[in-house]
Amino acid sequence: MAKDNNRFSPKIAAFCCFHSAYQAADIAGAMRKSYSDGIYIIRVPCAGKVEGLHILQAFEKGADGVLILACPQESCHYISGNIRAKKRVDYVLALLEEIGIEPERVKSFNLASNQALRFVQVVSDMAERIKDLGPSPINYPAASGRGM
Amino acid sequence: MNKKRVLVIGGGIAGITSALELAKNDQEVFLIEKDPGIGGHAASFCCKATEICNKCSVCLVPEKMREMVIHPQISLLTTSEVREINGEAGDFRVKIVQKPRFVDPDKCTACGICIEACPVEPQKAINLAYPGAVPPAFVVDNDRCLRFQGEECTICQDKCPTKAIDFAQDSQEIDLDVKAIIVATGFDVFDAREKALLGYGKYPNVLTGLDMEEMLLKEGEILLPSNGKPPQEVAFIQCVGSRDEHIGNGYCSKVCCKYAMRFSRSLQYQNPEVKITIFYMDLQTAGKGFGEFYEQCKENIRFVKGIPVEISQVSPDQLGLRYEDLSQGKIVEESHDLAVLSVGIAPRKNNRNLARILGINLGDFGFFDTLNQVENTSTNIEGIFIAGCCQGPKDIPESIAHSTQAVLRVVRTLT
Amino acid sequence: MVEDIRIGIFLCDCGETISRRIDLLRIKSNLEKISDVKYVELSHYLCSQQEIELMGSEIREKGLNRVVIGGCSPQFCEAAFMEAMEKGGLNPYLLSVANIRDQCAWVHPDKTKAFSKTARQIKMAISKTRLSQPIEKEAISINRDVLIIGGGISGMETAIELSNLDHKVTLLEREKGLGGRLNQLHSLYPLELTPDNLLTEKIEAINRRPNIEVLTTGELLKIEGQIGNFVARIKADDSLITRNFGAIVVATGCDTQFSKERYGLELSDNIITQLQFEKMLKSQEKWERIPQKIGFMLDISDEHSRIPTISALKNGLAARRRFGSEVYVFCKNLKLDATGLEGMYREARDKGVIFFKSGDEMPRISPANGQINIQLEDLYLAKELVSLSCDLLVVDEKIIPQRDFETLKSILNIDLDSSNFYQQPNVHLYPVASNRKGIFFSGTCHADLDFRDTLADGRASALAVHQLLSSDKVSVEVERVVVDHDKCVLCLTCIRSCPHHAIEVDQEKQAAKVIDLACQGCGICAGECPAKAIQLKGYTDDEIGAQLEFLEEAM
Question: How many CB pairs (< 8 A) connect A and C?
Answer: 125
Closest to A84 (Cβ–Cβ): which among C114, C425, C524? C524
* pLDDT value for A145: 46
Nearest to C233 by CA among C411, C409, C71: C411
Task: Evaluate whether C227 touches C437 at the Cβ level (below 8 Å).
Answer: yes
All residue ranges of chain B with pLDDT < 50 are: 1
Shared-domain flag, residues C359 and C346 = yes
Interface mutation vs chain C, best among A40, A66, A75, most C CBs within 10 Å: A40
Query: Where in the sequence is the domain holding B248, given as residue range(s)?
Result: 190-345
Q: Which residue of B has its CA nearest to A30?
A: B132
Shared-domain flag, residues B175 and B203 = no
**Longest alpha-carbon distance in chain B:** 74
Decide if C76 and B411 are in contact by the 8 Å CB cutoff: no
Report pLDDT digits (tens) over B141-152: 888 899 888 889
Report the amino acid identity of residue A35: Y
Chain C residues whose beta carbon lies within 8 Å of the beta carbon of residue A61: 545, 548-549, 551-552
Domain boundary (C135, C159, C192) is at: C135
Q: What is the CA radius of gyration of chain C?
A: 32
Closest to C548 (Cβ–Cβ): which among A23, A57, A80? A57
The full DSSP string for C41-85 is EEES-TTSHHHHHHHHHHHHHTT--EEEEEES-HHHHHHHHHHHH
* Touching chains, C (3+ CB pairs < 8 A): A, B
- CA–CA distance, B214 with B265 (Å, rounded to integer): 17
CA-to-CA separations, B39 to B130, B186, C495, in angstroms, rounded:
10, 11, 40
Give chain B's domain count.
2
Query: In terms of residues, how long is chain C?
Result: 555
Half-sphere exposure of C483 (CA within 13 A, CB side): 25
Residue B152 maps to a domain:
no
Residue A114 forms contact with C (CB below 8 Å)? no
Decide if C470 and B400 are in contact by the 8 Å CB cutoff: no
Asked if the peptide bond before residue C308 counts as cis, ω within 30 degrees of 0, the response is no
Chain C residues whose beta carbon lies within 8 Å of the beta carbon of residue A37: 104, 108, 110, 113-114, 116-117
Residue C426 forms contact with A (CB below 8 Å)? yes
Shared-domain flag, residues C115 and C159 = no
Shared-domain flag, residues B227 and B335 = yes
Residue A42 forms contact with C (CB below 8 Å)? yes
Please report the residues numbered 435 through 464 in chain C whose beta carbons come closer than 8 angstroms to any beta carbon of chain A.
435
Chain C residues whose beta carbon lies within 8 Å of the beta carbon of residue B53: 426, 428
Report pLDDT digits (tens) over A32-81: 899 999 999 999 999 999 999 999 999 999 899 999 999 999 899 999 99
Nearest to C255 by CA among C457, C444, C454: C444
Shared-domain flag, residues B251 and B295 = yes
Closest to A112 (Cβ–Cβ): which among B59, B110, B128? B59
Shared-domain flag, residues B14 and B94 = yes
Decide if A25 and C116 are in contact by the 8 Å CB cutoff: no
ipTM of the complex: 0.91
Q: Residue ranges per domain, chain A?
A: 12-142
Asked if the peptide bond before residue C190 counts as cis, ω within 30 degrees of 0, the response is yes
Decide if B52 and A114 are in contact by the 8 Å CB cutoff: no
CA dihedral over C47, C49, C53, C54, signed as positive or negative: negative
Chain B residues whose beta carbon lies within 8 Å of the beta carbon of residue A73: 51-53
All residue ranges of chain C with pLDDT < 50 are: 1, 554-555
SS3 content of chain C, % helix, strand, coil (to 5): 30, 25, 40
- CA–CA distance, C455 with C155 (Å, rounded to integer): 9
Query: Where in the sequence is the domain holding C361, given as residue range(s)?
Result: 259-398
CATH number at residue B317: 3.50.50.60
Shared-domain flag, residues B301 and B406 = no
Closest to C424 (Cβ–Cβ): which among A32, A61, A79? A79
Shared-domain flag, residues B287 and B268 = yes
* pLDDT value for B3: 67
Decide if A37 and C108 are in contact by the 8 Å CB cutoff: yes
Shared-domain flag, residues B302 and B219 = yes
- CA–CA distance, C343 with B222 (Å, rounded to integer): 36
Q: Which residue of B has its CA nearest to C379?
A: B326
Q: Are strands C503-506 and C511-514 parallel, antiparallel or unpaired?
A: antiparallel
Decide if B132 and A115 are in contact by the 8 Å CB cutoff: no
- CA–CA distance, C460 with C158 (Å, rounded to integer): 8
* pLDDT value for C479: 94
Q: Are strands B384-386 and B172-183 parallel, antiparallel or unpaired?
A: parallel
Nearest to C190 by CA among C356, C382, C11, C343: C343
Closest to C499 (Cβ–Cβ): which among A33, A62, A79? A79
Nearest to A36 by CA among A47, A25, A24, A44: A25
Residue C419 forms contact with A (CB below 8 Å)? no
CA-to-CA separations, C485 to B4, C71, C529, in angstroms, rounded:
51, 39, 13
On average, the pLDDT of chain A sits at 88
* Touching chains, A (3+ CB pairs < 8 A): B, C
Shared-domain flag, residues B285 and B390 = no
Q: Which residue of B has its CA nearest to A108?
A: B51
Q: Which residue of C has its CA nearest to B107?
A: C15
Query: In terms of residues, how long is chain A?
Result: 148
Chain B residues whose beta carbon lies within 8 Å of the beta carbon of residue A113: 47, 59, 62-63
Shared-domain flag, residues B358 and B272 = no
* pLDDT value for A1: 43
CATH number at residue C307: 3.50.50.60
Residue C548 maps to a domain:
no
Shared-domain flag, residues C126 and C171 = no
In chain A, where does DSSP find H-type helix? 21-30, 52-60, 81-99, 116-133, 141-144
* pLDDT value for A147: 41
Closest to C335 (Cβ–Cβ): which among B53, B286, B400? B286
* pLDDT value for A144: 45
* Touching chains, B (3+ CB pairs < 8 A): A, C
In C325-453 the beta strands, taken as DSSP E runs, fall at 326-331, 354-357, 364-368, 371-378, 384-390, 392-395, 398-401, 439-441
> Quick one: which H or E segment has residue C261?
none
Residue C87 maps to a domain:
yes
Least Cα separation, residue C419 to chain B (angstroms)? 8
Closest to C336 (Cβ–Cβ): which among B55, B282, B397? B282
Task: Evaluate whether C11 touches C125 at the Cβ level (below 8 Å).
Answer: no
Domain boundary (C398, C432, C449) is at: C398
Q: Which residue of A has its CA nearest to C529?
A: A51
Give chain C's domain count.
4
Tell if the pTM clears 0.80, that is, is over it: yes
Shared-domain flag, residues C153 and C73 = no
Domain boundary (C380, C398, C416) is at: C398
Residue C321 maps to a domain:
yes
Decide if C333 and B391 are in contact by the 8 Å CB cutoff: no
Shared-domain flag, residues B296 and B404 = no
Q: What are A's interface residues with B at a Cβ cutoff of 8 A?
A: 23, 27, 30-32, 71-75, 110-118, 121
On average, the pLDDT of chain B sits at 92
Of residues A21 and C360, more confidence is placed in: A21
Shared-domain flag, residues C287 and C203 = no
* pLDDT value for A146: 44
Residue C82 maps to a domain:
yes
Of 3.30.379, 1.10.10, 3.40.50, 1.10.287, the CATH number of A12-142 is 3.40.50
Shared-domain flag, residues B397 and B287 = no
Domain boundary (B306, B326, B345) is at: B345
Q: Enumerate residues 6+ apart whose C-beta is below 8 A from C450.
A: C189, C306, C307, C310, C338
Shared-domain flag, residues B211 and B355 = no
Chain A residues whose beta carbon lies within 8 Å of the beta carbon of residue B133: 30
Residue C239 maps to a domain:
yes
Chain A residues whose beta carbon lies within 8 Å of the beta carbon of residue B131: 27, 30-31, 116
Residue B170 forms contact with A (CB below 8 Å)? no
Closest to B373 (Cβ–Cβ): which among C16, C304, C339? C339
Decide if C524 and A63 are in contact by the 8 Å CB cutoff: no
